[in-house]
Amino acid sequence: MYGFGLGSMQQKWQANPDERWKDWVIIGAGSVSLVVGVIMPLLWPMQGLTSHSHMAASANLAQARLEAREYGAERRQEIRKRVQEHKEVQKDEELGHCDDQTDTNRK
């Protein structure tokens, strides 16, 4: 029907000479990108993974996390201490309030 199916005669592909430059541009760009992709990492090693500034930043972050844990533990301990003191004050006030009521009832 269309002439290009599986059962039909296949036509030989012929490139127009004016259109061949496009093929060479594609092949050239692919070759250049392949060479650059392979050669550049060999010439210019990855600085990001072994850079001293990154190692220093990593050490600083670890130190900050350690200090945060220490200060966090101290803060929690102080909060527990304040809560305990507050509970004791409330307990004393309740006992004092109960004593005041019993004293007024006795009079």
Once rounded to an integer, what is the mean pLDDT over residues 17-41? 88
Query: Which residues are within 8 A (CB) of 54 and not within 5 positions of it... i.e. 6 or more apart?
Result: 48
12 within domain boundaries: no
Q: List the one residue out of 85, 66, 88 whose CA is nearest residue 77.
A: 85
Average pLDDT score over residue span 32-61: 80
Tell me the residue range of the domain where 31 lies: 20-44+52-106
Q: What is the per-residue pLDDT for 78? A: 93
- In angstroms, the CA 46 to CA 40 distance is 10
27-46 per-residue burial string, b: 16 or more CB within 10 A, e: under 16: eeeeeeeeeeeeeeeeeeee
pTM of the model: 0.36
Cα separation, 66 vs 50, in Å, equals: 23
Q: Summarize the confidence of residues 46-52 as an average pLDDT.
A: 63
In terms of pLDDT, which residue wins out, 41 or 65? 65
pLDDT digits 0-9 by tens, 52-80: 777 888 899 999 999 988 888 889 999 99
**Dihedral of CA 71/73/74/79: which sign?**
positive
Q: Does the pLDDT value for residue 102 go beyond 80? A: no
In a domain, 65, yes or no: yes
Q: Is 14 a domain residue?
A: no
Structural domains counted in the chain: 1
Residue 98 is assigned to a structural domain of this protein: yes
pLDDT above 70 covers a percentage of the chain that reads: 70
Is 8 within a domain?
no
pLDDT higher at 91 or 29? 29
Average pLDDT over residues 80-104: 81
The C-alpha atoms of residue 81 and residue 75 are separated, in whole angstroms, by 10
